[in-house]
Structure 1
Amino acid sequence: MDAVHRAGIPGVYGEVRVDGRTWRGASGVADVTTGRPVSPDMRHRVGSVTKTFTAAAVMQQVERGRIRLDGPIGDHLPDLVPGERGRKITVRMLLNHTSGLPDYVRYAFPSLAVNSPQSLDDNQFRRFRPAELIELGLAAPPTGEPGGPTGVYSNTNYLLLGQLLERVTGTPAEEYITRHVIRRAGLRHTGFPTGPYLDGPHARMYEAAHGLLDPPRDYSVYDPSWVGTGAALVSTMDDLNRFYAKLLDGRIVSRASLAQMQRTIPVRALDGTTVQYGLGLHRVTVPDCGTFWGHDGSAWGAGTMSLTRDDGKRQMSVAFNLQRWNARDASGNPLPHPIDDALSTLYGEAMCDGADTARAQPSTP
């Protein structure tokens, strides 16, 4: 962690559990102006780690017979996904990103496409409605035909899943997830923020936007409606380890549902890398160390990685308060940065005492 801080991350903290033993640590600062240190128990915007929570909630409704995993989404949301798309795209395709629906984020933040961070500031206190973000995704060119052998990561899918939960339960999706996933897991510091401000001890969160913001700007105050049921959760590293331990032990969804969640396919992430993705779960295989399940996450200024070995005996959850630190070359590709290597080394130590886990690098929201 000290090496990650020295490489350029203001603050990094996390928790590792190995065979019943727990280690918590932190390095660096929560605030670059005051020098306030980070601590392992801080709350954090965990970004797309939220998708595992949303997927678990959907699978609970599958178990109750209210949702058919391979049923068309148009049966439930004909107003949001009308016509042929609604008939072709299934709930499973939304969960594993094979729907062909593109991500809406680039359209909600259009200035980023012309190398300007203006949209980040314009949307800081904006309250998006899920339907308007979904509409942006559906209006954009599709990434492929529904149900293809590979997927393309898209937040549009998980906003639709949130609307699906609300339609079948009659309860706002965030409320359902809180009652039936977060509370079932016994999490005390995890929840959906209702506005731009965070409760409890937390770090400032610095966004570099691939060099567009220099110095990086603090976006710890930010309305989370731009990601909703796809990436809005706030949690602690202790809570994330607790959640994934119970999920993989069959205590959040049934063993049969978990088996469905662990059926993976190749999915192209927003940063261009390929991950093995199931239904709201990544699979990361580390040679000589085992197979890990979990998710990474990114919000503006906040990054998270949470992975649990399939036997449940080794867990790692790490948070850091700088995002998109890599400058881009003339072709738009991220340039290497010392932070990348430092994080890879940290993950290796945490997951299996030094193994190379570079493929577990966090991606975009």
Structure 2
Amino acid sequence: MKNPLDPADLNAALENVHRAGMPGLFAEVCEGDQVWRGAAGVADVATGSPVTAGLRHRVGSITKTFTAAAVLQQVESGQIGLDTPIGHYLPKLVPGERGDAITVRMLINHTSGLAEYLPYAYPSLKAFPALADTGPQSLDDHRFTRFHPTELIEMGVTAPAAGAPGGTPGLYSNTNYLLLGELLEQVTGTTAEHCITRNVIERAGLRNTELPTGPSVNGPHSRIYEAWFGMIEPPRDYSVYDMSWVGPAASLISTVADLNRFFRLLLAGEIVSPSSLAQMQRTVPVVSQEGKIIDYGLGLHPMAAPGQRTFWGHGGTVWGAGALAMTRADGKRQLSVAVNLQRWNRLDSSGQPQPHPIDAALAALYRVAMYG
């Protein structure tokens, strides 16, 4: 019988992504008790030092699953009402009628109608996601900027609404998760970072996962390269960056092994209760940052190839780094992968990202890793 984790197939799929133009990537795939880890390419294009499967990495919006889990734990203890208006807890941050209409659930599943603050915090991304009219300048301007979450939240709350509270499709917005961070602080009397660290990261026994306090990644890590749709040539290293611009929405540092462990425990009902997990898996249509409609639950979203089993997890990107973590609904098969280049696609004349060989190679890797 063929090994369900065929090392030759997995190594070849990784190598194909590297050959397609990805400087470096690494992954862990699990099937029951079997574990495969692999890496291809370089962690530093200047020195040529190789990536390895145990590196720490910025995992972007996978942070949202951790934040959602921390909120649901407070729901279980009676500190937060899932369908209570956010104005009940944070009347100054979301005042008036909107504060009365937007519930905690709507923040977690992106149906609040609150706009994304990012284009306001990063002026040269003003037209984001109208990508042709953006530029990478403010990425450098803000490398060491220390944002306070309430100033970012204010940008999102005062911007034109993206929709009516509770309306679908929702709009994926980091403003929602910064508000959830402030909510955790309000009800626990400690910072969101401390709450998530104590109740989620430590509870799951994750030894290489942290919400950073400074701009550097502690421990062995890859450099991460941002191309901004071909406007940064060659792609620039953004591995040192103050992550206060995303905080509890996307600042997490982890490893592929820790991500698989976290999602395995989460889907087994060991981080939140089985009833909370069922709430996390109730999905609504949401417009993603790429402009596609996806199904989104409470910090989780499903992914499946036609006719194949459903996987639950999350993806994430920050400047230069990307990651994806997916676990089959029965918990038996898992993939976590990290890449060290972002926005590799160039734009066509209408400002739309053009297909790139990396896209097809990554899709092939996901198929091999998730379905064997």
Could you say whether these structures have the same fold, taking a TM-score greater than 0.5 normalized by the shorter chain as the test?
A: yes
Residue type at the aligned position of 2:38? G
Which runs of 5 or more residues in structure 2 are unaligned?
Answer: 1-13, 128-132
Structure 1 position 239 matched with structure 2 position 252: no
* 1-structure distance, mates of 2:221, 2:292: 30
The aligned runs of 1:1-365 (5 Å cut-off) are 1-112=14-125, 113=127, 114-353=133-372
SS in 1 for 2:257: helix
Query: Any idea what the Cα deviations from partners look like across 1:202-241, whole Å, max 9, x if unmatched?
Result: 0000001111111110000000000000000000000000
Q: How far does the alpha carbon of each residue in 1:330-355 deviate from its partner, in whole angstroms, 9 at most, with x for none?
A: 222111100000000000000002xx
Partner of residue 9, structure 2: none
Is the Cα contact below 8 Å between 2:303 and 2:310 reproduced in 1? yes
- Secondary structure of 2:304's partner? strand
Alpha carbons 1:115, 1:212 under 8 Å: kept: no
Distance (Å, rounded) in 1 between the aligned partners of 2:134 and 2:172: 22
What amino acid sits opposite 1:281 in the alignment?
A: L
Is the contact between residue 261 and residue 278 of structure 1 (CA under 8 Å) also seen in structure 2? yes
The letter for the 2-side match of 1:260 is Q
Q: What is the aligned-residue identity percentage? A: 64
| Residue 289 (structure 1) shift | 3.1
- Checking the alignment, whether the CA contact within 8 Å between 2:168 and 2:286 is kept in structure 1 is no
TM-score scaled by structure 1?
Answer: 0.96
Q: What amino acid maps onto 1:22 in structure 2?
A: V
CA distance in 1, matches of 2:134, 2:176: 26
Q: Deviations over 1:2-24 (max 9, x none)?
A: 00001111001010001210000
Q: Which runs of 5+ in 1 are unaligned?
A: 354-365
Secondary structure of 1:240's aligned partner:
helix
1:36 to partner: Cα distance = 0.4
Matched residue SS, 1:13:
strand
Deviations 1:96-142 (A, max 9, x none): 00000011111111113343211000100000000011011112111
Residue 285 (structure 1) shift? 2.1
Kindly report structure 1 stretches of 4+ aligned residues shifted beyond 6 Å. Answer: none
- Whole-angstrom distance in 2 between the partners of 1:257 and 1:54: 14
Q: Give the 3-state SS of the residue equivalent to 2:19 in structure 1.
A: helix
- Following superposition, the deviation at residue 175 of structure 1 comes to 0.3
> Which AA in structure 1 matches 2:22?
I
Q: Distance in 1 between matches of 2:173 and 2:134?
A: 21
* 1:359 corresponds to: none
Residue identity opposite 1:85 in structure 2? R
Q: Give 1:275 shift.
A: 1.4
Aligned partners of 2:333, 2:294: CA distance in 1, in Å?
Answer: 21
The residue aligned with 1:360 is: none
Question: Is contact 1:293-1:309 (8 Å) kept?
Answer: yes
Contact 1:289 1:351 in 2 (8 A): no
Question: Offset of 1:152 from its aligned partner?
Answer: 0.7
Indicate if the aligned counterparts of 2:169 and 2:293 stay in contact, CA closer than 8 A.
no
Assess if the C-alpha contact under 8 Å between 1:74 and 1:87 holds in 2.
Answer: yes
Code of the aligned partner of 2:228: A
